[in-house]
Structure 1
Amino acid sequence: MRLILCLSILLVLIQGCASSTSQTRIDNVEQYFRDEYFSPAQDLIQPQELFSLSSQITQTLRQDFQKSRMSRDYTMANRWLANYINASNGGFEYQDNVTRIAQKTFDDRAGNCLSLVLLSASLAEVLDVGVEFQEIEVPPVWDKQGDFYLVNGHINLRLLPKETNNTYLVSKDAIQIDFLPERTMRGYAKKHIDKTTVMAMFFNNIAAESLVEGKYDLAYAYIKQSLMLKAEFVPALNTLAILYRYKGLDNQAETIYKLALSMEGEDLNALYNYAVLLASQQRLDEWAEVHKTLELARIRNPYYYYDMAQQAYFDHEYETALTWYKRAVEKASYRHEFYFGLSRAYWATGDERKAQLNLERALALTGDDMNKRRYQSKLHAMKTH
């Protein structure tokens, strides 16, 4: 679920689905907090709430499971739960929007990958089914919200069979639960992560989502919760440094960037943001050192090409815009706005057939009602032109 979160001028890591491999231990992370610059936030989500489910849900789940035990075909608890979750057929729906606790995800029957993993782990705990959390090293999936670029990673889990003295296991295989099964079939590398890391991911996600919304005090409170769970969690350190920059605390931000880089010297998110800080202070020699590494990251960002296309389009350089839009689509063929850009550029060049085709693709990809109405209106105008 979600996300490396990146800013157009700053790169933030939100975690939904990624983790860090720290080389240094932080013994007292509280020394890096600056409470005096923030107001206390109220009604925060607490760690114990992440995996908590109502008594009604747990009771119903146990009852449904016990009923299945009365049938002739005996099913292991982990397999029964996998069927109950029914990830591949829509038991719970993947929606890559906001991060939720397990109870909220259950109520909504939907969530991003991190939210759905929390829910699945919570259901597993009710039935005493063991779990393994996995970070999937998928290629980044890019999104954009306002001035923020978001790079979505991925996380899933495995349900483990429980072997007891009076139970003979016909199959000892763990069952992987993945709400984006098309990814898991591609053989991407997997890395086991512990429950504490998953919890740190959750709070960093919430913090980054709050930061996007301009709720800085709330973002700070949730970053603290993330780092109190896992002080060496580099994504949360990166988010904290970005928040400090937003508050004008450049010295404190630099301290955090250096701390993050001392643990992961090649973390591109921290490097990018540190480079932005150096450039803003005209420390160009230091900036040049990190910029060499960052150039490759820039050309992998599909929104780099999209922004170039947009600029060319508004400069009435439509053929150039087409070239850049096509490159953006090559990097991220799942983004509706890239196809909408292609549609506009083709229309401007007089290729009405391709303009309509790409607008239809944009319409098929968008999940936003406002965009759907917008695209449908433009598509109708094209067809009646």
Structure 2
Amino acid sequence: MTHQWLANYINAQEGGFRYADNVTRSASDTFGDREGNCLSLVLLTAAIAQQLGVRVEYQEIDIPPVWDQQGGLYLVNGHINLKLLPQEKGHILNVSAGAIQIDFLPERAMQGYDKHRVSRSMVTSMFYNNLAAEALVKREYDKAYGLLKLSLQQDNQFLPAINTLAVLYRYKGLPDEAEALYKLALAINPEDMNALYNYAIILGEQDRLDEWAGVHKVMELARIRNPYYYYGMAQQAYFDREYQLALRWYRRAIEKADYRHEFYFGLSRTYWATGDERRAEVNMRKALSLTNDSNSKRRYQSKLHAMKSH
């Protein structure tokens, strides 16, 4: 069956394609680079499936949000996979071969999370919004705007793109337009935490404290779920040389997001400052194992070498 062949060909576990969560690529770029994030790999699989006449179903997975920080922006990464469906020949459907789920994060045990089907247009919106967010981090504002227009043309109620556009308006000094978009997002989903978080920023900047307080009641719970809240507190404590306090905050950040290499790096250097060289080395090795960034790898390897030479 063709869908079985494609599943074997695309299988990231066999070394054909490598999962890399840092950049969103087009299907052709993913094919050429042999790597991509989950959305890039899904798009590549779907593109090949289309050429082979294999039908697909896209699925969004309700995993806990994966937080990242780039260029002063907090980014929340979701997860998507797809199913390859057995072929229909004429009026005959082969029922001996079932649908095959393709997922590039097997360690996230799909049995544990709800999933729901999404349309191709929504996946296309996700793609353009991802590219827009990456452009926004690089301060390529015109490029980000064009990509967001493409995203919202696919689905004009796609909340992540509405939020990204509002952030872009705020960066460009257009607070009224940004506020209108946050209100639109909250009209679609009154509990959208991204819209609430960003709306609270605008209200605070304008000293609209009564409105800010109302939003902040909801926002406080969301803030304490953000691992970078604890990371920021840890960083401040470290630079204030309050090392025991910094250790507690770094550990809290890791409890929320044990996949972030910079949290372990912070923990390592704090242990080093307290004289606990063994734990410092253990956590530096953990930071090194978690990063795919070449600059961070060199930095952590250099730190490890210095620790061993000490």
For structure 2, list consecutive stretches of 5 or more residues without a partner in the other structure. none
Task: Determine if the alignment matches structure 1 residue 380 to structure 2 residue 300.
Answer: no
User: Counterpart of 1:198?
Assistant: 123
Task: Determine if the alignment matches structure 1 residue 152 to structure 2 residue 77.
Answer: yes
Task: Determine if the alignment matches structure 1 residue 353 to structure 2 residue 278.
Answer: yes
Question: Greater helix percent: which structure?
Answer: 2
For the Cα contact (< 8 Å) 1:131–1:157, is it kept in 2?
yes
Q: Separation in 2 of the partners of 1:167 and 1:86? A: 28
Shift of the 327–251 alpha-carbon distance from structure 1 to 2, 3 Å rule, reads same
User: Counterpart of 1:329?
Assistant: 254
User: Counterpart of 1:130?
Assistant: 55
User: Counterpart of 2:214?
Assistant: 289
User: Counterpart of 1:29?
Assistant: none
Which residue identity lines up with residue 337 of structure 1 in the other structure?
E
For the Cα contact (< 8 Å) 2:268–2:283, is it kept in 1?
yes
User: Counterpart of 1:17?
Assistant: none
Q: Separation in 2 of the partners of 1:90 and 1:139? A: 27
User: For 2:204, which of 274, 279, 293 is the aligned residue?
Assistant: 279
- Give the drift of 1:140: 1.2
Question: CA offsets, 1:35-88, max 9 Å, x none?
Answer: xxxxxxxxxxxxxxxxxxxxxxxxxxxxxxxxxxxxxxxxx1111110111233
Query: Quick one: percent identity of the two aligned structures?
Result: 66
For the Cα contact (< 8 Å) 2:281–2:304, is it kept in 1?
yes
Which residue identity lines up with residue 309 of structure 1 in the other structure?
A
User: Counterpart of 2:232?
Assistant: 307
Tell me how many residue pairs correspond in the alignment.
Answer: 310
Larger radius of gyration: 1
User: For 2:192, which of 258, 267, 274 is the aligned residue?
Assistant: 267
Shift of the 168–288 alpha-carbon distance from structure 1 to 2, 3 Å rule, reads closer
Q: Separation in 1 of the partners of 2:136 and 2:267? A: 31
- Give the drift of 1:171: 2.0
Shift of the 378–87 alpha-carbon distance from structure 1 to 2, 3 Å rule, reads closer
User: Counterpart of 2:265?
Assistant: 340
- Give the drift of 1:187: 2.3
Q: Separation in 1 of the partners of 2:255 and 2:109? A: 21
The higher relative CO (CA closer than 8 Å, separation ≥ 6) is in: 1
- Give the drift of 1:239: 1.0
- Give the drift of 1:151: 1.9
User: Counterpart of 2:162?
Assistant: 237
Q: Separation in 2 of the partners of 1:363 and 1:225? A: 38
Q: Secondary structure at the match of 1:126?
A: helix
Which residue identity lines up with residue 117 of structure 1 in the other structure?
V
Give runs of aligned pairs for residues 99-114 of structure 1, distance below 5 A: 99-114=24-39
Q: Separation in 2 of the partners of 1:170 and 1:241? A: 47
For the Cα contact (< 8 Å) 2:3–2:85, is it kept in 1?
yes
For the Cα contact (< 8 Å) 2:87–2:93, is it kept in 1?
no
For the Cα contact (< 8 Å) 2:71–2:138, is it kept in 1?
no
For the Cα contact (< 8 Å) 1:77–1:127, is it kept in 2?
yes
For the Cα contact (< 8 Å) 2:49–2:56, is it kept in 1?
yes
Q: Secondary structure at the match of 2:61?
A: strand
Q: Secondary structure at the match of 1:154?
A: strand
- Give the drift of 1:168: 6.8
Normalised by the length of structure 2, the TM-score is: 0.97
User: Counterpart of 2:173?
Assistant: 248
RMSD: 1.3
Q: Separation in 1 of the partners of 2:129 and 2:151? A: 6
Q: Secondary structure at the match of 1:151?
A: strand
Q: Separation in 1 of the partners of 2:125 and 2:66? A: 21
Give runs of aligned pairs for residues 26-65 of structure 1, distance below 5 A: none
Task: Determine if the alignment matches structure 1 residue 92 to structure 2 residue 36.
Answer: no
